[in-house]
């Protein structure tokens, strides 16, 4: 389990640059199941045995998002869920995006 999952998401107030380069790579190494797309967002696909399991997972991610005040984009259907995470306020990645992704992994 990543130590990122033990931390809390911090709301972004804007005015900070998105993560790039070495810091981004360091955080990405801690979440090998997540794809960093164009240094802009994190994406992971999950597979489930049926629609109900996928929906239950989506609902748990939704509860986590409300707890952390950090809201991903979620796309799902029969047996599949895709989560996309980035900080909308800066249109890029922050450390909180990685924290949230680690927490999703723990669900």
**Per-residue pLDDT tens over the stretch 63-99:** 999 999 999 999 999 999 999 999 988 999 999 999 9
pLDDT in tens, 2-54: 687 777 767 667 778 899 999 999 999 999 999 999 999 999 999 999 999 99
Instruction: Please state the pTM of the whole predicted model.
Output: 0.89
For 34-107, CATH number out of 3.30.1360.20, 3.60.15.10, 3.40.50.2300, 1.20.1440.230 equals: 3.30.1360.20
Domain assignments of the chain as residue spans, ordered by start: 34-107
pLDDT of residue 6: 76
> Residue 100's closest CA among 56, 67, 77, 78?
67
Q: What DSSP designation does 53 have?
A: H
């Amino acid at each position: 389990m990543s130590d990122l999952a033990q931390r809390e998401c911090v709301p972004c107030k804007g005015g900070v640059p998105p993560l790039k380069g070495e810091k981004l790579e360091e955080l990405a190494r801690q979440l090998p199941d997540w794809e960093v797309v164009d240094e802009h967002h994190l994406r992971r696909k999950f597979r489930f045995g049926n629609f109900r399991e996928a929906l239950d997972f989506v609902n748990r991610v939704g509860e986590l998002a409300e707890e952390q005040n950090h809201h991903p984009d979620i796309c799902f259907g029969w047996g599949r869920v895709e989560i996309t995470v980035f900080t909308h306020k800066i249109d890029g990645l922050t450390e909180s995006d990685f924290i949230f992704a680690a927490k999703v992994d723990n669900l």
